[in-house]
Amino acid sequence: MGAILNGLAAYGTILPYAGTFLNFVSYAAGAVRLSALSHFRTIWVATHDSIGLGEDGPTHQPIETLAHFRALPNCMVWRPADGNETSAAYHVALTSKNTPSIVALSRQNLPQLEGCTIEKASKGAYVLQEVEGANITLISTGSEVSICIDAAKELAEKHGLKARLVSIPCWEVFDTQSKEYRLSVLPDGVPVLSVEVMSTMGWERYSHEQFGLNRFGASGAYKDVYKKFEFTPEGIAKRAVATVNFWKDVPNIRSPLNRAFQQLI
């Protein structure tokens, strides 16, 4: 299917897309790599993008998939959190004529996020909730963004901590923004905790601490599986408290984006 997609894209005149579970895009990795290398605008509509797919279990639950494709040059990996972010993903995918895209979509229903616009999501990452005097930034993608919103409430109510929220639907697109914009999203002075229910590999670029899943998932109803691995408001809040405590005596915390040499495009 991936090879056919490449043939259709090379021939031109049509915009080919393929649909499968995100985990099985890995099975087409050779074809995806050729799309990237050949500058083909192919689109993978990759559903069932996490352990949230439920009872099919670990054979169908992606863990390393996003880390793999984020490492692939000239490939956009999107993991939208709601309808507007999904529109942004399609818009950028369709208007990027020389780059393939993988759009990772959840199986479970997700709420529309207040404050999310197509314009903001098109920048690859944006501040979803700003707060004065923040103790921590939570950065997240897809189905975990709305859980982070509840975790921020939990942090305010039970721990007296203020959390900023950042949604980063596409790393590759965010990396092309100006340094000024990127530092406004992840500023100095605030420790950052990333939350994504997959391999944490690569998240060090955007966060000081990472909450993810560095093991295979489990078979069960999606809410039970999320609970087992603590991808709940309480589970995220617990790790946010640990992050704040660990970093509180560190003066001048630098944004993870502030490095000796940075990817400036």
Q: Which residues of this chain interact with ligand NAG, rule CB under 6 A?
A: 84, 112, 114, 116-119, 133, 135, 161-162, 244, 248
Residue with CB nearest ligand NAG? Answer: 133
Closest approach, Cβ 74 to ligand NAG, in A, equals 27
Question: Given the complex with ligand NAG, which of 114 and 180 has the nearer CB atom?
Answer: 114
Closest approach, Cβ 253 to ligand NAG, in A, equals 11
User: Which tokens belong to 114?
Assistant: 């207040």
Please report, as a single letter, which amino acid is at residue 115: G
The packing angle between helices 2-11 and 29-38, to 10°, is 20
Question: Given the complex with ligand NAG, which of 181 and 246 has the nearer CB atom?
Answer: 246
CB contact at 8 A, 145 and 197: no
Please report, as a single letter, which amino acid is at residue 114: E
Closest approach, Cβ 25 to ligand NAG, in A, equals 27
The percent of the chain in helix, strand and coil, each rounded to the nearest 5, is: 40, 15, 45
Positions of E strands within the chain = 17-21, 43-47, 76-78, 101-104, 126-129, 136-140, 163-167, 192-195, 209-211
Closest approach, Cβ 153 to ligand NAG, in A, equals 16
Closest approach, Cβ 139 to ligand NAG, in A, equals 18
Question: Given the complex with ligand NAG, which of 119 and 157 has the nearer CB atom?
Answer: 119
143: three-class secondary structure by DSSP: helix
Question: Given the complex with ligand NAG, which of 25 and 110 has the nearer CB atom?
Answer: 110
Question: Given the complex with ligand NAG, which of 162 and 227 has the nearer CB atom?
Answer: 162
